[in-house]
Amino acid sequence: MKDFDYIRAVSLEDARQRAMRSGAMLFAGGTTLLDLVKCGVAEPELVVDISHIAGLSQISADGSGVTIGALARMEDVAGSPGIKADYAAIAQSLSLAASPQLRNMATIGGNLLQRTRCPYFRDPGTFEACNKRNPGSGCSAIGGVTRNHAVLGTSSACIASYPGDLAVALVAFDATISLGERTVSAEDLFLLPGDTPERETILERGEMVMAVFIPSLPVAKNSIYLKIRDRQSYEFAAASAAVGLELETDRRTIKDIRVALGGVATKPWRARSVEEALIGKTIDVATVEKASRLAVEGAVSSGGNQYKIELAPRVVTRAILTTGGLL
């Protein structure tokens, strides 16, 4: 592990200024950064600790929605009575992530900005070729073991899947992210790999996540986060779905629906084609199954991940039917 300098930021401006320095990396909960430093992927010259900056850990709600500070801990947000009552999929996405120990350390901002990664990315000693670590070096995953890799949003430069859960739910419910001087949608925060997979978000040097805002919506209140994985805890999703549903007064016709996928794409993936196919339709098994297949339009298999193209629509179907009271 490379030696680095450490400093604790005393204010937001202090943190921004220090983060402008070449080789600087921000540190809050540290659950991802320390892991990547230990395996030789991250090699910061300066670690800027922002965990003691005041005013960034509150959870506050009003009639328009809820604002969650970037330094709020995952477990605190997941356990918030207001979040569980009005934003069920958000609470579930956090509760199903990582382990209790990590959730008590990890912050909301850090969780959003965790690296899109795969085993090849995490092992620089064995696999030198990784466009995320060394742009232009190639992708060791292509042609390798790809069971956990993405089938949507991939490129010839990278097929790693975005591992987070919270961001999937945020994208489904039109959340916005405050970066201080600008605010962006949760969906636009993340970039597709294209030819530059080393750049995963739109953040510029010196920018940091300040807060997340989730609007108050009927679909957010009646929502679910369904996560399918190889084991029941401490595992990334093979496929997941954040679904919110609002029915008309007849309790049969879909008035509004939100669908986003995790575990199958290079970034949190909004399935708008599924939403468009279902709005105004009567909710029943056949209709939902047909529409859910649209979730993997354009999917490309890399071999071992072929099963995700079949699994993802089933996860979406189950989530929609559960939210609609049919399961």
Does 2 have pLDDT greater than 90? Answer: no
Residues 83 and 209 in one domain: yes
Does 1 have pLDDT greater than 90? Answer: no
Residues 240 and 208 in one domain: yes
In a domain, 249, yes or no: yes
Q: Please count the structural domains in the chain.
A: 2
Residues 18 and 105 in one domain: no
Residues 45 and 182 in one domain: no
pLDDT score of 255: 98
Residues 105 and 171 in one domain: yes
pLDDT score of 52: 95
Closest CA to 294 of 308, 268, 276: 276
* Average pLDDT of the chain to the nearest whole number: 97
Residues 11 and 105 in one domain: no
Residues 35 and 68 in one domain: no
In a domain, 139, yes or no: no
Is residue 239 within 8 A of residue 290, CB to CB? The reply is: no
In a domain, 66, yes or no: yes
Residues 237 and 95 in one domain: yes
Residues 108 and 201 in one domain: yes
pTM score of the predicted model: 0.97
Digit-coded pLDDT (tens) for 152-188 = 999 999 999 999 999 999 999 999 999 999 999 999 9
Please, which pLDDT band fits residue 123 given cuts at 50, 70 and 90? very high
State residue 306 phi and psi, 5-degree precision. Answer: -55, -35
For the chain, the three-class secondary structure string (H helix, E strand, C coil) is CCCCEEEECCCHHHHHHHHCCCCEEEECCCCCHHHHHHCCCCCCCEEEECCCCCCCCCEEEECCEEEEECCCEHHHHHCCHHHHHHCHHHHHHHHCCCCHHHHCCCEHHHHHCCCCCCCCCCCCCCCCCECCCCCCCCECCCCCCCCCCCCECCECCECCCCCCCHHHHHHHCCCEEECCCCEEEHHHHECCCCCCCCCCECCCCCCCCCEEEEECCHHHHCEEEEEECCCCCCCCCCEEEEEEEEECCCCCEEEEEEEEEECCECCCEECHHHHHHHCCCECCHHHHHHHHHHHHCCCCCCCCCCHHHHHHHHHHHHHHHHHCCCC
Report, as an integer, the average pLDDT of 303-308: 98
Report, as an integer, the average pLDDT of 235-242: 98
In a domain, 154, yes or no: no
Residues 38 and 82 in one domain: no
Residues 168 and 36 in one domain: no
Kindly report the CATH number assigned to the domain that includes residue 33.
Answer: 3.30.43
Domain that holds residue 29: 5-49
Residues 38 and 169 in one domain: no
Report, as an integer, the average pLDDT of 22-43: 95
In a domain, 82, yes or no: yes
pLDDT score of 229: 97
In a domain, 313, yes or no: yes
Digit-coded pLDDT (tens) for 41-71 = 999 999 999 999 999 999 999 999 999 999 9
